[in-house]
Amino acid sequence: MPDLSPLCALGAATPRRVTHGALTLTETPECGLASLALRRDTPPPALDLPGPGRWQAADGLTLIWTGPGQWLVELPGAAETDVAATLVKKVPGASITEQTDGWVLIEIASSAGAAPIERFLERAANIDQARFGPGSATRSPIEHLGTYVLRRAEDRLGIWGMRSAAESLWHALDTIAGRLDSRG
Amino acid sequence: MNRLSGGMIDRNQTIHFTFNGKRYQGHPGDTLASALLANGVQLVGRSFKYHRPRGIVAAGSEEPNALVTLREGARAEPNTRATMAELYDGLVARSQNHVGPLNFDLLAVNDLLSPFFAAGFYYKTFMWPRAFWEKLYEPAIRRAAGLGELSELPDPDAYDRGYLHADLLVIGAGPAGLAAALAAGRAGAKVILADEDFRLGGRLLAESDLLDGAPATEWIEAVKAELESLPNVRILTRTVIFGVYDHGIYGAVERVSDHLPTPGGAVRQTLWRIVAKRAVLAAGATERHIPFADNDRPGIMLAGAMRAYANRWATGPGTSAPVAIFTNNDDGHRTALDLMARGVPVAAVIDARRGVERQGDYRLLPEAEVVGTQGRLGLHSITVRTSRGSDTLQVGALGVAGGWNPNVHLASHHRGRPVWDERSLAFVPGQGGPGGLIPAGACGGKGSTAEALADGLRAATEALAELGLTAPALPLPQAEARQDNTAPIWHVPGKRRAWVDFQNDVTVKDIALAHKENMRPVEHLKRWTTLGMATDQGKTANVTALAVMAELTGKTIPQTGTTIFRPPYTGVSMGVLGGGDTGAHFRPRRLTPTHHWAKANGATFVEVGPWMRAQYFVRPGETHWRHSVDREVLAVRAGVGLCDVTTLGKVDVQGADATLFLDRLYANAMASLKVGMVRYGLMLREDGSAYDDGTCARLAEDHYVVTTTTANAGPVYRNMEFARQCLWPELDVQLISTTDAWAQIAVAGPKSRELLSRLVDGFDLSNEAFPFMACAPLTICGGLRARLFRISFSGELAYELAVPARYGHALMARLMEAGADLGATPYGTEALGVLRIEKGHAAGAELNGQTTGQMIGLGKMVSSKKDAIGNIMSRREGLAAEKRLLVGLQPVNATDTVVPGSHLFAQGAPRDLAHDQGWITSAAYSPHVGSSIGLAFLEDGANRMGEVIAAANPLQGSEVAVRVVPSHFVDPEGGRLRA
């Protein structure tokens, strides 16, 4: 272990968490992230790869479709490890780039089912919720910031945003959740 | 309060409000307008130009007159329509546009001067002296003619935005809209029903007609209950659909808290972007008036509005005196009947048509016209001309019924042209409007309740069929099916002024003058007279104006022109359009990994695009930014400095063809770059101009990291993606940005190697093992994965050390701690700039899109042995013949300042464009040189070393004599960075 102490994207030693009514927002620094792009003329890996607009969990990984032949791969709990090296073993011959520190993950959970999540999402992103059930993932701007939004479950979202703008993204999401709570 | 029977107000609760400081009472369900009328207030404002006393004209969003300033202090909102302001306890409203009290406006003198204030008056009158316009004329005119005033205080309220998706958007919740929403809701479509009112029902709320033999409210409540029970239907009241945009996107504003004293923790308004596959436009119709002499007095209203106030709000038109109706259609008679049924005395119905008959027990004056009115602050009497002569009627109010104009506005938003319907004497939506928008009901010319209900169902059925859904059988209630039989009587000719557009004080005479001045196309008419402008956008005026113009030209109305509309349908506040945040969070910002460290260590920050970068670090005793910057620069030159350079763009490039890809992208050769080495690279635009510079590090045979300037990190990545996907899709290349992933810190200065040696885990930093322009992965601080690049922007021995971003903060602290005895000093963007100017490195000021590789002294880098983006174009005559070259400048008098942006002239040459020899791109005080220095593009610069030229700054009237020197002020041989 290096003798340096890391900071979370929101600038503190410990992740930030806030609850507004039924919604809880949690900064999640422990999730590792890597990009995976298949090279030309290499056989597809033995992974169940999701198609456009979808994410898929398999073999301890969560794969998020990001473009033709491209995925982001979540490695839960692996942020402190060399995620690219881990992934190379599973997908040899692919182009893999460590992305853990390029992004901030904010998990949003509802304690009252899908409704608060849907009300939150309709204020956060221009996403047709009729086509955004669990298993869906899409790239969407939120308050001018590029993000990936994952519908992890009826009552849970995961939002990946750029690390350097973590403070602005958190402010945007926190404000939306706070205002929904004030509306009752 | 003087209330009639019935109505949809909650008489169990009394709420208080003030108008111009006087206290009044109303009930929940009232608007400010209905409550004012119930309290006998007819005079509510002064007109725009002539300061004529004005009253409430309408009962909806078309109101042209009753504009008030609502609320106080920072929340004061001018130009609020009293007809749309829901009454709440404690509401405070003030009238507008008067000097002195409302009933004695000193600027009413304008009305006496009205012969001088005809349309076009300003254009012709205030022409000279020219200098008077800005200082005298314009302020005086703005004071005299205008609407409300802004508080000029920051808006204390919050606004937000949201996105909704629907199969069917139903715009308007009157009979057509409710029928459409119910049909679509039952069919299982995802429906949004929006209405600007706070109650569903639309015009049904204003009428006394029965549906299936029962009050209409029973049917409305039943439909509302069913719609609310359907999970696929969403009802948005207090929501105006203000515009139709491309691809079925509708703009909407929901007035979330405008009906409350303050929003509390909620937002005031929400801007909704609604994406709808289809939309039913059930926006209803707006009644028009009939201009006649002095038709603008308080108490003169639209007849349909008078009926609405009586039926829905249980109030007469603000007077206990009898009321008259002036009409050209049967609908005016309907108003008379409803008023009488509620106990309002009706003096007469004046019908301009021939051969009409009474429909009830009232005095009918057929073939008659109102030709004059009397009453200074409110209507006292009217003069009526009948076939038997003139008569004067003592009345306190007059309802005017001139027919109904369908609300075609949204159907016009994609330049859809309304078409003239001779049967209803109105414009109805035509072809060519927004795709997927289906008009229904009164806005489509189907104005009776029975027609509107059926047409709403028809429109929904059509929309559902297009969506592949089947409309259910929907039994519709029995409803009235009257036709108005409107006659084409558009105004009453006369010598006195007859208002067409109340809000802009435009009269029939003004239109005649426009005609006389040849402002005949309706577009010219509008701009010449200001007709149809401002908050009501001519909802009650436009068609009447067209009719008057048609009469003057001897053409038909459709021949004269059509009137179309642009968004927004009603006024939309800038606050809600801006949405989101103000202040610090107005736009997103990006923070470097060492931001918090820098903040704790005295940094002043500067915005660099979205980034916040440390500009310089102030130490105790430093009173001027130059003290800090000079110290930082000298520290780098003498010891070691640390600068967060994370903001430079980083792109990870992999793939079997990565080398070929980069060789085509960079103007210089990249194919020969060895693994473990870095090369400076220049990218050109397709036109051959210099675009961006940076480094390219080869980490493996098929793996590179490209860096870009901070400003171009996004554009270069985008261009690379374009090249990958579109220009050379056959290449096996994969790209991804890693800008944020790595915290990168420049460690620069003669002691940088010594400092780094204290952090690396057994890595050989010797010049032999890790020479200038080397790169390598390594570990530091006991196993942290890192990347080291031996590159220099300052001209000193320097490195850039990259670690996962989460460790940036700790790395900076560790470098400072480990380098304390070496004089380790953090430096910001100012010192970074001074260092690079001293070294003669080009940056954004030199790479401004108008310069070439040759100009910045890198012409030889543009390879002629290969093709790359821009290489061939850079050799075209216009660029190759460019003689301006990057040089250094030093002031002849060492205390003079070199000013960037100054233009260069040979000594003695005229200071004009013909003799301009270049310009200064960058300048700074160089503590190393001991004077101000600059970089400049100078004509034939290579051959002018030592020459003294003039740097002219005509904007500030200054000029400095400067000597031309090489652009490298520091270590021109480059020995330091290779040390």
For residue range B615-668, what is the model confidence (pLDDT) as tens digits? Answer: 999 999 999 999 999 999 999 999 999 999 999 999 999 999 999 999 999 999
pLDDT higher than 60, residue B403: yes
Q: Which residues of chain A from 164 to 183 reach within 8 Å of chain B, CB to CB?
A: 164-169, 171-172, 175-176, 178-179, 182-183
Tell me whether A101 touches chain B (CB under 8 Å): yes
Beta strand segments in B876-976, E: 884-891, 903-906, 918-926, 931-939, 948-953, 958-965
pLDDT higher than 80, residue B133: no
Tell me whether B811 touches chain A (CB under 8 Å): yes
Per-residue pLDDT at B764: 98
Mean predicted confidence (pLDDT) in A113-121: 97
Higher-pLDDT residue of B431 and B337 is: B337
- Percent of the residues in chain B that have a pLDDT greater than 70, as a whole number: 99
Measured distance CA(A116)–CA(A124) in Å, rounded: 12
Tell me whether B661 touches chain A (CB under 8 Å): no
Bond before B568 cis per omega within 30 degrees: yes
pTM of this structure: 0.93
Per-residue pLDDT at A184: 57
Of the candidates A6, A171, A179, which has its C-beta nearest B267's C-beta? A179
Under 8 Å CB-to-CB from B824, ≥6 apart: which residues?
B639, B640, B641, B642, B755, B815, B816, B818
Per-residue pLDDT at B137: 78
pLDDT higher than 90, residue B264: no
Kindly write down the DSSP assignment for every residue of B317-381, as one continuous string.
Answer: SS-SS-EEEEESSHHHHHHHHHHHHTT--EEEEEE-SSS---SSSS-EETT-EEEEEE-SSS--E
Mean predicted confidence (pLDDT) in B904-916: 95
Among B929, B847, B832, smallest CA distance to B888 is for B929
Residue at token pair 């993000």: A147
Per-residue pLDDT at B217: 97
Per-residue pLDDT at B145: 67
Contact B160 A176 (CB under 8 A): yes
Measured distance CA(B43)–CA(B56) in Å, rounded: 8
Identity of the residue numbered B365: L
Q: Which chain A residues are Cβ-neighbours of B580 within 8 angstroms?
A: 143, 172
Residue A8, min C-alpha distance to chain B (Å): 6
pLDDT higher than 70, residue B122: no
Q: Which ipTM value was assigned to this complex? A: 0.98
Measured distance CA(B178)–CA(A172) in Å, rounded: 36
Among B885, B796, B790, B788, smallest CA distance to B832 is for B796
Residue B625: both structure tokens together: 């930014």
Give me chain B's average pLDDT, please. 95
Residue B167, min C-alpha distance to chain A (Å): 10
Measured distance CA(B693)–CA(B713) in Å, rounded: 11
Residue B803, min C-alpha distance to chain A (Å): 10
Q: Which chain B residues are Cβ-neighbours of A169 within 8 angstroms?
A: 588
Contact A163 B741 (CB under 8 A): yes
Contact B163 A169 (CB under 8 A): no
Mean predicted confidence (pLDDT) in B352-377: 96
**Kindly report the CA angle at B629 between B628 and B634, in degrees rounded to 5?**
105
Residues in chain A: 184
pLDDT higher than 60, residue A37: yes
**Which tens digit of pLDDT belongs to each residue from A74-109?**
999 999 999 999 999 999 999 999 999 999 999 999
Measured distance CA(B89)–CA(B32) in Å, rounded: 11
Kindly write down the DSSP assignment for every residue of B207-269, as one continuous string.
Answer: ---EETTEEHHHHHHHHHHHHHH-TTEEEE-SEEEEEEEGGGEEEEEE-SSTTSSS-TTS-SE
Among B830, B835, B832, B898, smallest CA distance to B626 is for B830
Cα separations in angstroms, B551 against B117, B211, B554, B780: 24, 41, 5, 89
